[in-house]
Structure 1
């Protein structure tokens, strides 16, 4: 049985209270082999100033290192501030049109680079749970962030924002390809903070 994100209750110590709701993020287990993605993040909006502080606070604690820079594709982020204040430090933000539009790149001097699938904010909880499981599945096929989003749309007949595809759109996305199974990771992933 696949557990949805809302079924998972994980507590973590917090150094200081977060201003808003906790970040919804899941990372691969530390012993997982390297891949195209290191985890998934499901923000509540497309406002980096509002969403990034909670994510960085969680990751700083989990990694034991500060996130210092991020990069996004501007396609889904209406405003990309150059500097974002986060729990006692500043994260520098950049953008690259060449970067996968569904990926967030995070950099830390001591922890290195992390690539996270960005699940669109209005995605249903069930779809978000499947996407988080797929992004953290160490035994799964290595797919880009956009490929995971597209596969979710094809397999479950909804767009990443939860709108049902009409039959013509579904056929267009399928392209005659056989579908593959997205399952729960064999190794436990780390849901850092739930809902």
Structure 2
């Protein structure tokens, strides 16, 4: 598959943004524990984040920081260029697993549940097992 190339802020050409596999809740209720669900295609945070950040910027405005669980992603740099600015990437082991915090410059934030490719494969295998009569058969 060939990616189309688009001009980036730096004047260089890069891959055309992909639509992230993301579902955000329409409610902005502060009592919800997560604001949406994101299904990245892999565990390379630097490769996955640009499309996600572009999508959530419509709700948060410019993005300031992303907080993630260290053990769930490949090693990432401390900062990532996105939307014409540098976004801090902060990984912690005490951050709840399968979540990603995205903070806007304005102070607005989102917590997104992350469904990893491994989770998706496990879920699909479990659904096949159940549909073929494997559970309780």
Q: TM-score range by the shorter chain?
A: 0.7 to 0.9
| Larger relative contact order (CA 8 Å, sep ≥ 6) | 1
The gaps in structure 2 that reach 5 residues or longer are: 1-8, 130-134
Cα distance in 1, alignment partners of residues 59 and 126 from structure 2: 37
Cα distance in 1, alignment partners of residues 31 and 106 from structure 2: 17
Paired residue for 1:159?
A: 122
Paired residue for 1:91?
A: 87
Q: Segments of 4+ in structure 1 off by > 2 A?
A: 16-20, 30-34, 121-124, 162-166
RMSD, aligned α-carbons: 2.9
Cα distance in 2, alignment partners of residues 58 and 18 from structure 1: 16
Paired residue for 1:103?
A: 99
| Greater per-residue strand proportion | 2
Please state whether the residue corresponding to 2:63 is helix, strand or coil. Answer: coil
Alpha-carbon contact 1:74-1:96 (below 8 Å) kept: yes
The gaps in structure 1 that reach 5 residues or longer are: 1-15, 125-157, 171-195
Paired residue for 2:117?
A: 121
Alpha-carbon contact 1:65-1:111 (below 8 Å) kept: no
**Is 1:23 the counterpart of 2:31 in the alignment?**
no
Alpha-carbon contact 1:63-1:111 (below 8 Å) kept: no
**So what's the TM-score if we normalise by structure 1?**
0.52
**How far apart are residue 87 of structure 1 and its match?**
2.6
**So what's the TM-score if we normalise by structure 2?**
0.72
**How far apart are residue 31 of structure 1 and its match?**
4.8
**How far apart are residue 80 of structure 1 and its match?**
2.1
**How far apart are residue 51 of structure 1 and its match?**
0.8
Cα distance in 1, alignment partners of residues 113 and 126 from structure 2: 21
Alpha-carbon displacement from aligned partner over 1:34-83 (angstroms, at most 9, x marks no partner): 211111111111111111001101111x2151111001111110212211
Cα distance in 1, alignment partners of residues 101 and 30 from structure 2: 18
Aligned length: 119
**Is 1:53 the counterpart of 2:15 in the alignment?**
no
Paired residue for 1:39?
A: 36
Report the CA distance shift for 1:86/1:113 in structure 2 as closer, same or farther (over 3 A).
same
